Amino acid sequence: MKSETSTNNPSAFEIVSQFVAALAAQDTEIMKSLHAKDYVVDWVYGDAFENPPSSAEESAAFFPAWFIGFDEIDYDVKRTIAAEEVVVTEWVFTGTHTGPLGPPVFEERLDPTGRTIQFRGVTIYDVREGLIQRETIYMDLATLLVELGARV
């Protein structure tokens, strides 16, 4: 099945590809520009803390804080499955913890450890009308915390 797209009507796959490229380049402005007004991100590990999905405003603060903690990153998408309005990516994040991580990443500030970390995850993107409406993120939080040396 051939998907027809144009500059004015990019496919869900193209939108997510732009978003992933912006994430890998740490370009939060492009990332935000690809979010719908009512965008939400559901960090599935938040279920353990009864955290609801984050709003666009709440999530806009996350990645700038994350990029302070990891100024050089590799965000490697290993596999992508795409449909008309849903795109799923399996990815591996690698980065060296060179800056502080505090709210909204962690409630308590974690000073730089200098450790290089690597963890896996899966993100499900819901895309409509050329914008990302929702991200549902399943990530290996246990590995992240162990590699950072955090006590849980």
pLDDT over 90 percentage in the chain: 76
Report pLDDT for 109: 92
Pair 112, 71: CB distance under 8 Å:
no
Cβ–Cβ < 8 Å for 134, 117: no
Output the pLDDT for position 107. 86
Element (H, E) at 118: strand 116-128
CA distance 87 to 108: 33
Report whether pLDDT(141) > 60. Answer: yes
Residue 7 has what pLDDT? 57
For 1-15, the pLDDT digits (tens) are 344 445 578 999 999
Query: Is the pLDDT reported for residue 132 higher than 70?
Result: yes
On the question of pLDDT at 88 being above 50, the answer is yes
Question: Could you tell me the pLDDT band of residue 33, with boundaries at 50, 70 and 90?
Answer: very high
Contact 34, 105 (CB under 8 A): no
Q: Which pLDDT value is given to residue 2?
A: 45
The Cα–Cα gap between 89 and 102 comes to 27
Mean pLDDT of 79-103: 97
Mean per-residue pLDDT of the chain: 92
Which is more confident, 107 or 115?
A: 115
Measured CA to CA, the distance from residue 27 to residue 9 in angstroms comes to: 22
In the chain, which residue ranges form alpha helices assigned H by DSSP? Answer: 12-24, 28-33, 56-60, 62-69, 141-148
Residue 23 or 152, more confident: 23
Checking if the pLDDT of 152 tops 80, the result is no
Domains observed in the chain? 12-148 (3.10.450.50)
